[in-house]
Amino acid sequence: MTESESLNKTLKVNLGEKSYPIYIGEGILPWIGQYLKEMELGRKVMVVTNPTVGKLYGQTVLDSLKNEGFEVVRDVIPDGEEYKSLESAQILYDTAFNHSLDRKSAVIALGGGVIGDLAGFVAATYMRGIPFIQVPTTLLAQVDSSVGGKVAVNHPRGKNIIGAFYQPRMVYADITTLKTLPEREFRAGMAEVIKYGVIQDREFFEFLEKNHGNIKNLAVPELVRVVETSCSIKARVVEQDETEQNLRAILNYGHTFGHAFEALTGYKKYVHGEAVAIGMVSAARVAVRLGILDAREGDRIENIIRLFELPLTFGRLSPEEIIRTMHHDKKALGGKVRYVLPETIGKVRIVSDIPGDILYDILNEQTDYCIL
Ligand SMILES: NC(=O)c1ccc[n+]([C@@H]2O[C@H](COP(=O)([O-])OP(=O)(O)OC[C@H]3O[C@@H](n4cnc5c(N)ncnc54)[C@H](O)[C@@H]3O)[C@@H](O)[C@H]2O)c1
């Protein structure tokens, strides 16, 4: 297969001088060196990955970079959200410093959202910012976290507390890497994909409904459309509101509830996308109850979540505690809770004041031990 045949789509995130391309393709990883060579970068690059992804794809990336004359420094951070930390960042700063990386050297994140956020944070802060390349290998990272420039590490008291807006210079997504992704991680990524349909694109939502079988079987044309459309929606939102002053908040559909489910289960029971899926159901049901969304549209949202084998209810959590957690999180940060509610599939609105009894009822219906 030639390079041009295997490269399926190129998108652009338009942010003036910070604009960058997103390459999406099948089997494009062995050509990454060529793409990097066309950019104005130094000869030295640092590849950040974890043992799982490193074992699968590290050599391909390394060979490609070396073939194009790059001097590659590699650092492997253990696998897991708990390593998205300042301690891991410190290890990466040390490596960068020990190998004399300078302001032209690029940091290349090879992995899922954890590696992308961590490596991006290091790139944003080392020497006040050096070039950063995203090579996302999970569905969530390909459709969401690699685009938009949010980079962060966790603080012991909260996720993503220490971070920055720092755009990558390029996103390079090879959908072939999704073949090795555990099914549960793939499904979780689909929650974010469904989210894009609900917030902005009815036709895409319908495509997902019709093609759920092929998507789950990782059929290439469908998968390329999934990644391309998702990236394109996210890019358009980010272009209008890079630093989340207003519009970008719509990307949080399902997340206000989802974060509370994750926090209350100690980030152990659900992977992020599962919590978001349940949260999208909560938000849709609230919207129906408030008369904002037609009940049939709400059913379609629930049905697509079911089609992609994502959860709709949560276990033994108390509705009061969920509400308290959502309010507490926001109050701690000096803001109001902003709920993203669907008006129809393809359009959402942001609502701040939802009566407590409605929230309680909806969440109570979603527990596995509903109190009648
Ligand atoms: N920056 C943003 O805008 C943004 C948006 C959403 C989420 N996030 C962050 O993303 C993180 C979650 O990302 P994630 O869901 O990608 O999780 P992850 O990075 O932990 O990856 C999930 C698992 O899949 C493995 N993996 C990755 N690629 C693989 C592949 N191709 N084959 C086999 N295994 C593979 C990883 O090693 C890991 O065990 C969270 O920290 C979250 O805060 C950031």
Residues 155 and 204 in one domain: no
With a cut of 50, say whether residue 14 has pLDDT above it: yes
Nearest C-alpha to atom 10 of ligand 1 is from which residue?
Answer: 113
Measuring from each residue's beta carbon to the nearest atom of ligand 1, which residues come in under 6 Å? 50, 52-53, 56, 79, 81, 84, 111-115, 117, 137-138, 140-141, 144-145, 148, 150, 159-160, 177, 180-181, 185, 272
Task: Tell me how many domains the chain contains.
Answer: 2
Of 61-65, 131-135, 226-230, 329-333, the one with minimum mean pLDDT is 329-333
| 115 CA to centre of ligand 1 in angstroms | 7
Range of the domain at 202: 183-366
Both 57 and 104 in a single domain? yes
Written as one letter, the residue type at 293 is L
pLDDT > 70? residue 203: yes
Q: Which CATH number fits the domain that encloses residue 66?
A: 3.40.50.1970
Nearest atom within ligand 1 for CA of residue 115:
19
**Has residue 351 got a pLDDT over 60?**
yes
Tell me the CA–centroid distance for residue 166 and ligand 1, in Å. Answer: 18
Which bin fits 42, alpha (ψ -120 to 50), beta or left (φ > 0)? beta
* CATH number of the domain bearing residue 204: 1.20.1090.10
Q: In this predicted structure, what is the pLDDT of residue 26?
A: 95
Number of C-beta neighbours around residue 313 at 10 A: 12
Nearest CA to ligand 1 atom 12: 113
Q: Last residue of some domain: 158, 177, 196?
A: 177
pLDDT at 8: 83
Q: How far apart are CA 53 and CA 279, in angstroms?
A: 29
In a domain, 371, yes or no: no
Q: Are residues 317 and 284 in the same domain?
A: yes
Q: Whose CA is nearest to atom 3 of ligand 1?
A: 145
Whether residue 252 is found in the same domain as residue 110: no
**To 10 degrees, what angle do helices 272-289 and 356-366 make?**
130
Residues 140 and 191 in one domain: no
Mutate to test the pocket of ligand 1, among 26, 77, 138 (most ligand atoms within 8 A of CB): 138
What tens digit of pLDDT does each residue of 139-161 get? 999 999 999 999 999 998 888 99
Residue type, 117: D
Which pLDDT score, from 0 to 100, does residue 92 have?
98
Q: What value does the mean pLDDT take over residues 183-190?
A: 98
This prediction's pTM: 0.95
- Residues 213 and 306 placed together within one structural domain of the fold: yes
pLDDT exceeds 60 at position 1: no
Number of the ligand 1 atom closest to the C-alpha atom of 178 = 31
Residue 310 sits in the same domain as residue 277: yes
**Residues 16 and 137 both lie in one domain:** yes
Decide if 346 is inside a domain: yes
372 in a structural domain? no
End-to-end CA distance of the chain: 61
What pLDDT was estimated at residue 240?
95
pLDDT for 34 beyond 80: yes
| pLDDT exceeds cutoff 80 at 51 | yes
Question: How far is the centre of ligand 1, averaged over its atoms, from the C-alpha of 33 (Å)?
Answer: 23
Most distant CA atoms of the chain, gap in Å: 67
Q: The tokens of 117 are what?
A: 């956020």
**189 Cα: distance to centroid of ligand 1 (angstroms):** 9
Are residues 37 and 60 part of one domain? yes
pLDDT in the model for residue 332? 53
CA of 172 to the centre of ligand 1 (A): 15
Question: What CA–CA distance (Å, rounded) separates 69 from 33?
Answer: 9
In this model, does residue 78 exceed pLDDT 70?
yes
Instruction: Kindly give the distance from the C-alpha atom of residue 203 to the centroid of ligand 1, in angstroms, as a whole number.
Output: 27
Q: Which atom of ligand 1 is nearest to the CA of 189?
A: 15
Catalytic residues: 128, 150, 192, 234, 244, 248, 252, 255, 259, 272
pLDDT of residue 353: 86
Strands annotated E in the chain: 7-13, 20-25, 44-49, 71-76, 106-111, 132-136, 150-155, 158-165, 170-174, 339-344, 347-351
Range with the poorest average pLDDT among 6-10, 94-98, 221-225, 312-316 = 6-10
